A and B are shown apart, each in its own frame.
Chain A
Amino acid sequence: DSGVTQTPKHLITATGQRVTLRCSPRSGDLSVYWYQQSLDQGLQFLIHYYNGEERAKGNILERFSAQQFPDLHSELNLSSLELGDSALYFCASSRDREVGLALHFGNGTRLTVT
């Protein structure tokens, strides 16, 4: 068990809808990362937060947004959903901001858009 908790495990919704994915990092970790994994794309970095501040953006669509709250949990909001947004969404956490430490992943939220 990595100590990173993601909810819900599964989410099925229709095109055009909006969903929120939640992540609780490991105790003591200040950094939260979001990744998208689809069959043909591998793990794609979306966004990184450190102690409530956005630190880096990757391939995140404008329809997607995220935030990290004072208690360090994070939420990823996906809106105007399209069929192509169906994927596994992973959250990972780490203690670092700039140092190259490993990320520890949750078991993901499987999003299915119908």
Chain B
Amino acid sequence: EDQVTQSPEALRLQEGESSSLNCSYTVSGLRGLFWYRQDPGKGPEFLFTLYSAGEEKEKERLKATLTKKESFLHITAPKPEDSATYLCAVRGNNNDMRFGAGTRLTVKP
């Protein structure tokens, strides 16, 4: 069964303090690894898709990387508006999208 584990569960950073979020996964036939951002009371907002080990994607202060077993979401010089829950998900051969429990990020000014 496909599994996604995210760590840490919660992360508190000072504005400007860079860090990384981890997503470990096991999947039968990776068809895509996805990162989403979710604000309270809202639906997940799509950030990145990664398809193969070694691939990297960037958007503003966020950079996602992928290996055969895990993905990292690097946050460089975060701002308070980056505070949200970040969700990782995988799609495997069964084409279902399975989500991790998320990392709740708080960035203090």
Contacts and interface: CB of A to CB of B under 8 A. Distances in A.
A55 B95 contact: yes
Given A43-B87, A56-B94, A102 B99 contact: no
B95 A102 contact: no
A56 B43 contact: no
B51 A107 contact: no
Interface stretch (A69-77, A79-87, A93-101): A93-101
Interface residues of A, number: 25
A105 B96 contact: no
Contacts of B45: 2, 105
A28 interface: no
Nearest to A96: B95
A26 to B, nearest CB: 11
Given A100-B51, A107-B42, A48 B96 contact: yes
B102 A42 contact: yes
Given A100-B31, A100-B91, A45 B98 contact: yes
B16 interface: no
A53 to B, nearest CB: 13
27 contacts: A2-B43, A4-B43, A42-B99, A42-B100, A42-B102, A45-B96, A45-B98, A45-B99, A48-B95, A55-B95, A56-B96, A58-B96, A90-B43, A98-B95, A100-B30, A100-B95, A102-B32, A103-B34, A104-B46, A105-B36, A105-B43, A105-B44, A105-B45, A107-B42, A107-B43, A108-B42, A108-B43
